[in-house]
């Protein structure tokens, strides 16, 4: 059996070596290392793939979130509602911009932000909602967009984990995750579903005016050379990263299918096990692209299982071990433990299994058998 890894970037590279090498060689030949033709081409190709009007590449996913919020003109004191159960980047940029993060609880089965909790958190100062499509599954965008319209709020999708996932709205429309709200942020961190070989990110939107604003913000607030109209940042996708992404984008659907197939096999293997809740789909098969395959281990057995996996040399992840409202940096006296029953329970139960494009059946079987044997013993 191949050695089991949480992600296998080397194995994936072996399969696309010639495309990636050629694409990188092109950058060396043009020596346009910043804003080269590869960046322009990638932007266009991603716009086509997502069926979105504008993609603005930038340096990483965290910047993408920050720049999206700056572009919308959010001001200190504006309240931004987001999920208590997510990676810290989401709330970090809200706090950095001196906006007020308002953390709310999530759905116990999909791990995504709970629309009912959003409704309860809205005040006259609320300006935006940031749903995070966690672990690769699109959030309940129908409900979120309805709340946003009713209260005149912006929706900023954190799509760092769900690029390529579809969303089927009640109206019958199918859209890519990240193209439903006002603006979205994504990350090309190497382990993400569409990862480059360093840092990278992008903002996308269908809004022409917002795109113009954002293109200036990513470039020191310049709309005309050496005229700085707004305070901006320096956030660029470099040409080498764009070259890698150009080689990998045509494979994204195939990569996501491989993840979905592995997820199916895991789920099948855990059928009927009373200690395990497998990922719950909110809607159809293609709304989840399994950035992570995350189980809930019930009956207080998670930590013992984690220890056992460690001993067996099977990699796993605990995403995320501490609710954001309990983190020192984001603690706030407004938060009451009673407002976060789901997140407080999830941090004790979640366990993410190896998930990547190169996982094979033998590995999945071995991982699942090891877990079942331990839980049944």
Ligand X SMILES: *Cc1c(COP(=O)(O)O)cnc(C)c1O
Site for ligand X in 82-101 (CB under 6 A): 86-87, 89-90
Confirm if 157 and 176 have CB atoms less than 8 A apart. no
Contact string (CB under 6 A) for ligand X, positions 192-231, x = contact: -------x-x------------------------------
- Distance of closest approach, residue 31 Cβ to ligand X, in angstroms: 26
Q: Is 343 in the site for ligand X (CB under 6 A)?
A: no
Q: Is the dihedral of CA 9, 11, 17, 19 positive or negative?
A: negative
Which of 36, 57, 61, 317 binds ligand X (CB under 6 A)? It is 61
- Distance of closest approach, residue 89 Cβ to ligand X, in angstroms: 4
Q: Which residues pair with 352 in a beta bridge?
A: 294, 317
Q: Exposed, middle or buried: residue 19 (CB in 10 Å: 0-12, 13-18, 19+)?
A: middle
Compute the residue count for the chain: 377
The C-alpha angle with vertex 262 and arms to 258 and 268, in degrees rounded to 5, equals 145
| Cα–Cα distance for residue pair 360/263, rounded to 1 Å | 11
Confirm if 166 and 287 have CB atoms less than 8 A apart. yes
Contact string (CB under 6 A) for ligand X, positions 231-270, x = contact: ----------------------------------------
- Distance of closest approach, residue 60 Cβ to ligand X, in angstroms: 4
Q: Is 161 in the site for ligand X (CB under 6 A)?
A: yes
- Distance of closest approach, residue 138 Cβ to ligand X, in angstroms: 13
Is the Cβ of residue 87 or residue 154 nearer to ligand X in the bound state? 87
Terminal CA-to-CA distance of the chain, rounded, Å? 25
Q: Is 181 in the site for ligand X (CB under 6 A)?
A: no
Q: Is 36 in the site for ligand X (CB under 6 A)?
A: no
Among the residue ranges 40-48, 108-116, 158-166, 266-274, the one whose residues contact ligand X (CB under 6 A):
158-166
Report how many residues bind ligand X under the rule CB under 6 A: 15
CA-nearest of 38, 31, 32, 70 to 57 is 38
Question: Left, alpha or beta for 301 (phi > 0: left; psi -120 to 50: alpha)?
Answer: alpha
CA-nearest of 177, 166, 179, 169 to 54 is 179
Is the Cβ of residue 8 or residue 158 nearer to ligand X in the bound state? 158
Residue numbers at the binding site for ligand X (CB under 6 A): 60-62, 86-87, 89-90, 132, 158, 160-161, 187, 189, 199, 201
């Amino acid at each position: 059996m191949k050695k089991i890894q949480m992600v296998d970037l080397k194995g994936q590279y072996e399969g696309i070596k010639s495309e990636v090498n050629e694409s990188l060689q092109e950058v060396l030949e043009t020596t346009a290392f910043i804003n080269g033709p590869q960046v322009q081409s990638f932007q266009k190709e991603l716009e086509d793939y997502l069926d979105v009007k504008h993609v603005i590449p930038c340096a990483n996913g965290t910047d993408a979130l920050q720049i999206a919020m700056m572009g919308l003109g959010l001001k200190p004191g504006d309240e931004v509602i987001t999920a208590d159960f997510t990676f810290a980047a989401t709330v970090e940029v809200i706090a950095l911009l001196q906006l007020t993060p308002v953390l709310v609880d999530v759905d116990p089965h999909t791990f995504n932000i709970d629309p009912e909790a959003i409704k309860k958190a809205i005040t006259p100062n609320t300006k935006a909602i940031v749903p995070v499509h966690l672990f690769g599954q699109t959030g309940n965008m129908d409900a979120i967009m309805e709340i946003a319209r009713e209260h005149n709020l912006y929706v900023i999708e954190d799509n760092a984990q769900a690029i390529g996932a579809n969303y089927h709205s009640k109206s019958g429309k199918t859209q890519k995750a990240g193209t439903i709200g006002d603006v979205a942020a994504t990350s090309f961190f190497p382990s993400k579903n569409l990862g480059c070989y360093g840092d990278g990110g992008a903002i996308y939107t269908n809004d022409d005016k917002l795109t113009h604003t954002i293109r200036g913000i990513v470039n020191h607030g310049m709309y005309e050379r050496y005229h700085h109209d707004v305070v901006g940042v320096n956030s660029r996708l470099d040409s080498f990263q764009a070259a890698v992404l150009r080689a990998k984008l045509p494979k994204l659907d195939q990569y996501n299918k491989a993840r979905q197939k592995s997820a199916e096999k895991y789920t099948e293997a855990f059928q009927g096990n009373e200690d395990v809740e497998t990922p719950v789909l909110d809607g159809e098969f293609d709304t989840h692209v399994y950035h992570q395959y995350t189980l809930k281990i019930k009956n207080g057995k998670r930590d013992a299982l984690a220890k056992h996996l460690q001993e067996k040399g099977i990699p796993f992840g605990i995403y995320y071990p501490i609710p954001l409202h309990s983190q020192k940096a984001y603690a706030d006296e407004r938060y009451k433990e009673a407002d976060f029953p789901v997140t407080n329970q999830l941090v004790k139960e979640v366990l993410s299994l190896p998930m990547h494009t190169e996982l094979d059946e033998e590995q999945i079987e071995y991982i699942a058998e090891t877990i079942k044997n331990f839980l049944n013993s």
